[in-house]
Amino acid sequence: MAPEPPLLTMSGITKSFPGVRALDGVDLDVLPGEVHCLLGQNGAGKSTLIKVLAGAHQPDDGTIGWRGEQVVLRSPIAAMRLGIATIYQELDLVEGLSVAENVYLGHEPTSAGFVVRGKEARASTAALLKRLGHPEIDPGRLVGELSAAHQQIVSMARALSHDVRLIVMDEPSAALDPDEVDNLFRIVTDLTAEGVAVVYISHRLEEIRRIGDRVTVLKDGRAVAGGLPADSTPTREVVALMTGRNVEYVFPPRPAPRDLPAPVLEVRGLSREGEFEPLDLVLRPGEIVGLAGLVGSGRSEILETVYGARKPSTGQVLVDGKQLKPGSVRTAVAAGLGLAPEERKAQALLMLESVTRNVSVSSMSRFSYGGWLDRNAERDAARKATRELSLRPDNPSALIRTLSGGNQQKAVLARWLLRGCRVLLLDEPTRGVDVGARAELYAVIRRLADEGLAVLMVSSEVPEVLGLADRVLVLREGRVVHTAPAQELDEHRVLDLVMEGSPAS
């Protein structure tokens, strides 16, 4: 490559959130007209980095150079004015507005400063859509009526409606069919031919090989490799870069192999249209089974369907051989299932309430006589459950929102412990939990299993699944592609499976 001055130079970018250092001195440089791929596991810092680049986050430290000058991206508008556009995974379109209105939202062509010249906006939107290879999208249609793929095109048209020099695409192919992916790549190629640079984020290595020029790999908030050639770097090397860890988690020892009791949970041919394919699963008391897969592989959907929070398209869930009513959380809970969901604050916790009330919410009838609560019994039982899990602070009336992520998770576990739950479903059990507190949580989960609970866990952190689970199901796009005891798998192999799809055997 000729010694071209870089378009963008980010150096030493550091960003901390409470309890987490999301970015730790990351460098990234992007040349005009190149496709620069950003690769990393979940939590490696990719989305934080692109939010800094989009002006949505302010870095704690580090500098950003843009076309040779140092700049500060104070806001998304400031970034947009410089010519940096970001297309997020969750598209930020207004569904009730037309295509043209969305494209020119905030910078509408106007007469006399405020009368929107709609015809002009529609005409130039049509030109942009044509340039993107989708002349069939009507600029006057409501965005809400378009398919996901077409909405993404609209989002791109919006980026191009500004004088854009760099487009950041966050997993643009995640929602697309293979045909649509081809069109996306053609657009990317056209853009780069015009000198526009693209920062492309994807989990799929084969895509990066197809369109990428250079690759930067992030891991634990650091750039472990910058500017590798995308087409010639061996997959092994990329995977090794993504997985080589600085932080070593301590996992509790697995119990010696033994005969487990009869299954408590059986899942037969459970599926949900468009989310995951028929799944069979047997879970015995004392065992931890892990589901490994990327975001969008159907992991959370499987857990929530087993739990009855989503209605299955086909299949059954049986506890002790008895079928649960499909799509009913209440029968699942009554049969002994408990879920610690991924979005703890939104799906599990009563944020205005105390620890006691959060723990007792699923077992209130145990402390009531004809609806009348025995609050002392309630508090004592909740305290017993939280002490068993060493929840801190040891104060039943502490407000749940004042607790750390790890202790909030313990409160959720205590809820099910108190309920006398027999099958624990854990969705990303260490999401939002400090690295230091994770080992303790792992030990708690293992102890619960040793005491006879059956645990089904989901995690996007492969080492977590491998370290904690006894048996692992590897998922890719809603399908189990491999099942094996955790000891027989390693991180590289699982990542190969979830990214490349076919079992190498």
Cβ burial of 179 (10 Å; 0-12, 13-18, 19+) is exposed
243 near another protein, rule: CB under 8 A:
no
Q: For residues 297 and 502, what is the distance between their CA atoms, to the nearest angstrom?
A: 14
- Does the footprint of another protein cover residue 311 (CB under 8 A)? no
Shortest distance (Å) from residue 330 CB to another protein = 5
Asked whether position 350 contacts another protein by CB under 8 A, the answer is: yes
> What Cα–Cα distance (Å) separates residue 341 from each residue in 12, 71, 285, 442?
35, 41, 21, 16
Q: What are the residue ranges of helices labelled H in 162-316?
A: 178-193, 205-211, 235-243, 299-306
Closer to another protein by CB, 94 or 364: give it: 364
* Residue closer to another protein (CB basis): 258 or 330: 330
307 binds another protein (CB under 8 A): yes
Q: How far is the CB of 494 from another protein (least distance, A)?
A: 29
Burial class (CB in 10 A: 0-12, 13-18, 19+), 113: exposed
Answer yes or no whether residue 310 interacts with another protein by CB under 8 A. Answer: no
Are 282 and 265 spatial neighbours (Cβ–Cβ below 8 Å)? yes
Which is nearer to another protein, 157 or 444 (by Cβ)?
Answer: 444
Among 149, 329, 435, 439, binds another protein (CB under 8 A): 329
CB of 460 to another protein, least distance (A): 20
Residues paired with residue 105 on neighbouring β-strands, in sequence order:
none
One residue of 27, 60, 353, 388 binding another protein per CB under 8 A? 353
Q: Is 89 in the site for another protein (CB under 8 A)?
A: no
Give the footprint of another protein on residues 370-389 (CB under 8 A): 371-373, 375, 387
49 vs 38: CA distance, rounded Å: 10
Q: Residues touching another protein: how many (CB under 8 A)?
A: 32
User: Would you say 55 or 341 has its CB closer to another protein?
Assistant: 341
If one asks whether residue 4 binds another protein (CB under 8 A), the answer comes out as: no
Span of 137-145, 339-347, 464-472, 497-505 interacting with another protein by CB under 8 A:
339-347
Q: Which of 20, 361, 443, 484 binds another protein (CB under 8 A)?
A: 361
Maximum distance among all Cα pairs of the chain, rounded to whole angstroms: 81
Beta strand 471-476 pairing with 479-485: antiparallel
Residue 367 CB partners (closer than 8 Å, separation 6+):
360, 373, 374, 375, 377, 378, 381
Burial 129-145 (b: 16+ CB within 10 A, else e): bebbebeebbbeeebee
Identify which of 24, 35, 370 has the alpha carbon closest to the alpha carbon of residue 184: 35
Contact region for another protein (CB under 8 A) — 64-72, 184-192, 232-240, 349-357? 349-357
120 binds another protein (CB under 8 A): no
Residues 465-494 that bind another protein (CB under 8 A): none
CB 324 to another protein: min, Å = 12
- Identify the helix (H) or strand (E) that includes residue 118: helix 118-131
Write the DSSP string, 132-176. Answer: TT-TTS-TTSBGGGS-HHHHHHHHHHHHHHS--SEEEEESTTTT-
Contacts to another protein from residues 400-459, by CB under 8 A: 415, 419
Which residue in 111, 346, 376, 504 binds another protein (CB under 8 A)?
346
**Least distance to another protein, CB of residue 305, Å:** 13
Closest CA to 408 of 460, 359, 459: 359
How far lies 222's CA from each of 38, 43, 48, 65, 115, in Å?
12, 11, 12, 19, 48
Q: Which of 9, 14, 183, 362 binds another protein (CB under 8 A)?
A: 362
Residue range at the interface with another protein (CB under 8 A); choices 265-273, 278-286, 326-334, 451-459: 326-334
- Given candidates 317, 339, 424, 472, which one binds another protein under the rule CB under 8 A? 339
Among 351, 483, 488, 502, binds another protein (CB under 8 A): 351
Residues 438, 459 contacting (CB under 8 angstroms):
no
**Residue 72 vs 334, nearer CB to another protein:** 334
Inter-residue contact 53 to 229 (CB < 8 Å): no
Sort strands 222-229 and 35-39 into parallel, antiparallel or unpaired: unpaired
Give me the residues that bind another protein (CB under 8 A), please.
Answer: 307, 309, 329-330, 332-334, 339, 341, 346-353, 357, 361-362, 364-365, 368, 371-373, 375, 387, 394-395, 415, 419
